[in-house]
Structure 1
Amino acid sequence: MAEVRFTKGHGTGNDFVLVADPAGALDVSPATVARLCDRHVGIGADGLLRAVRVGADVEATALAAAFETTALASTEQAFWFMDYWNADGSTAEMCGNGIRVFVAFLVREGLVELPAGGTLPILTRGGVVPVQRTATGFEADLGRWRMDADEVAVRIDGVDVVRPGLSIRVPNPHVVVALAEDAELDGADLTAPPVLDPVPVAGANVELVRPADPLVEDGVGRIRMRVHERGSGETRSCGTGAVAAALATRYWAGPEAPQDWRVTVPGGVLGVRIVAAEDGEHVALSGPAELVYSGTVHISVGDVSGGDR
């Protein structure tokens, strides 16, 4: 058995097991991830985040080359890869809540220095995400977003009729469904995954959204959201899902809709900003990041080995 140190953290209730692996010595299997994230027999979490230097991991090195970011890896500022796994042991492009918790973890572990107002680039499977430390937490620039033209029919347990969904990538795939009443949002049964037609090739997170009344207050749009995440089930929050929900609601509301949004999820409140950039419209996600406790866990030798994954 190998003893591995971990930290438990969360962003608005979206919780993670975090492991520091600067040299890329851990080779964690999907089965190990699923066991660690199991809420009955493991630590319990919506996913696992492994912190590894770009040059110490084969996948990260290839991603950096693909995103043309190899120069960043050689700077004095450490360039880190967020190796994100869902609770079922599958991998995902990135995680909007997780990346804030990831940077908070790097700072507390002394792996990076990041003063208030400073920005740290993080490599993810979805691209390079700059994360800024703010007075109240962290804000991540998720970059450009994309909306698919075709609607998806969504069948949700507890909702009486099939609803149309809007497909948005930021960069994770999402399908956003608008609901007319609070009772519909509260009564939806997300213990089972919503059924999508057509089925997205890579799957999708599904967000159920209820606009506030009034929708806009003091120039800020307001919505409530619940989410079913692929690979994790219903979670108390989803960062990229909050962004997708705000983008979809802005689209439905029309050209006069605001660029700033307040998204209330079961685990708290997230901020979404839509900003113009040289390469197109970007979206920024802000919110808290909490590190709850640290400990050690024993993993079978077969699950952890030296070398790159």
Structure 2
Amino acid sequence: MPTIAFTKGHGTGNDFVIVPDVDGALSLTDDQVAALCDRRFGIGGDGILRVVRSSALREGADTPDAEWFMDYRNADGSAAEMCGNGIRVFARYLVDSGLAELPQGGVLRIGTRAGTKTLTRSDDGFEVDLGRWHPEGDDVTVRARGLDVPRPGQGIDVGNPHVVVALSSTAELDGLDLTVQPLLAPEPPSGANVEFVVPSDPLVEAGVGAVTMRVFERGVGETLSCGTGVAATALAVRLWAGERAPERWRVDVPGGRLGVRITHHEDGEHVLLSGPATLVYSGEVALA
């Protein structure tokens, strides 16, 4: 069986198998991705980050301003538009391996299926501009094991689809059984990540909003963190809080803490996500 090089990395516990394929020669099947991400028989991870030049991919034609393209696949092999934790880990890999430079005050552009994303350094790692966001107007009802009745969900698009559900207490949040996939009605055409959030008390301190969240990611299951889900959660709570809501948020997830801020541009509001990115180990693995 052929072998490939890999590196294991994570962002607040959201972990990935990074596969360098700079010239786009490697074609991983869904089954091979699932085998690599298997936590008992493989390396283990919430997804795969294939590192490839944009010029080597047909998809990369949409991001000609980025030398590198993040080919992100969920643990079941399905392709995803974006990954907020994954792109920071991707940036860490590029910089640490010498494939790209990101000096303090500089920018690094990375291509994704949701377009080119711009990253800068932050105090705790990297910050990525996820771009424009918008709320989804359709009413969504969410059923989840551990909730006594279905709850309304707020759709948020940050380059990939999310549904955010407000809960009344940390006890209710802790009581969720996310080993079972929540059910959405109506079900979005491409599915959605589902976030369950409890606001802190007080909600705002020193101009920064604070919430706690758990997430069920489509194609994966419950994860310790979801970067785009963190951004969607902060945006949903800000939307519910009204005009005086802050533009900076901290979001606690089982794997740690991430920062969110909103900036204003000619093309509308952008949402930015910041947090750590860690490389754990490297090796080689046989492909089934």
Q: TM-score, normalised by structure 1?
A: 0.92
Native 8 Å contact 1:54 1:80 kept in 2: yes
Give the Å deviation of 1:214: 0.3
Residue 277 of structure 1 deviates from its aligned partner by 0.8
**Partner of 2:268 in structure 1?**
280
- For residues 88-134 of structure 1, the C-alpha deviation after alignment (integer angstroms, 9 at most, x for no partner) is 00010010000000000011111011112221111100111001122
What is the deviation of 1:58? 2.2
Once the two structures are superposed, residues 229-275 of structure 1 have per-residue CA deviations (whole angstroms, 9 ceiling, x without a partner) of 00000000000000000000001111111000000000000000011
Q: Is the 8 A contact 1:237 1:266 kept in 2?
A: yes
- Does residue 168 (structure 1) correspond to residue 176 (structure 2)? The answer is no
Who is 1:80 aligned against?
68
How many residues in Structure 1 have an aligned counterpart in Structure 2? 288
Question: For 2:57 and 2:156, how far apart are their aligned partners in 1?
Answer: 30
One-letter amino acid of the counterpart of residue 13, structure 1: G
Tell me how far apart the structure 2 counterparts of residues 295 and 252 of structure 1 sit (CA, whole Å). 46
Secondary structure of the residue that 1:244 maps to in structure 2? helix
The residue aligned with 1:226 is 214
Instruction: Please give the alpha-carbon distance, in whole angstroms, between the structure 2 residues aligned to 1:90 and 1:173.
Output: 15
Instruction: Please report how far the alpha carbon of residue 178 of structure 1 lies from its aligned counterpart in structure 2 after TM superposition.
Output: 0.1
8 Å Cα contact 2:17-2:45 kept in structure 1: yes
Secondary structure class of the residue paired with 1:151:
strand
Residue equivalent to 1:44: 44
Check if 1:136 corresponds to 2:124.
yes
Q: Which residue of 2 aligns with 1:292?
A: 280
Distance 1:191 1:224 in 2: 19
Higher RCO by CA contacts (8 Å cutoff, separation 6 or greater): 1
Q: Amino acid of the residue matched to residue 154 of structure 1? A: V
Q: Per-residue CA shift, 1:129-177, capped at 9, x if unaligned?
A: 0011223200000000011112200001001111000000101100000
**What does residue 3 of structure 1 align with?**
3
**TM-score normalised to structure 2 length:** 0.98
Distance (Å, rounded) in 1 between the aligned partners of 2:242 and 2:139? 17
Q: Following superposition of structure 1 onto structure 2, how do residues 90-169 of structure 1 map, counting pairs within 5 Å? A: 90-169=78-157
RMSD: 0.9
Distance 2:12 2:75 in 1: 17
Equivalent in the alignment of 2:23: 23
- Work out which of the residue numbers 245, 249, 253 in structure 2 matches 1:261: 249
SS of 2:93 mapped into structure 1: helix
3-state SS in 2 of match to 1:148? strand
Q: What is the deviation of 1:20?
A: 1.1
Counterpart residue type for residue 21 of structure 2: D
Per-residue displacement from partner, 1:6-33 (whole Å, max 9, x unpaired)? 0000000000000111111111111100
- Distance in 2, matches of 1:58 and 1:127, equals 13
Confirm or deny: 8 A CA contact 2:11 2:278 kept in the other structure.
Answer: yes
Distance in 1 separating the partners of 2:175 and 2:169: 10
| Partner of residue 201, structure 1 | 189
> How many percent identity over aligned positions?
62
Higher percent of residues as strand: 2
Report the counterpart of residue 59 of structure 2 in structure 1: 59
User: Could you say which residue in structure 2 is the equivalent of 1:13?
Assistant: 13
User: Structure 2 regions of 5+ residues with no counterpart?
Assistant: none
Regions of 4+ moved over 3 Å: none
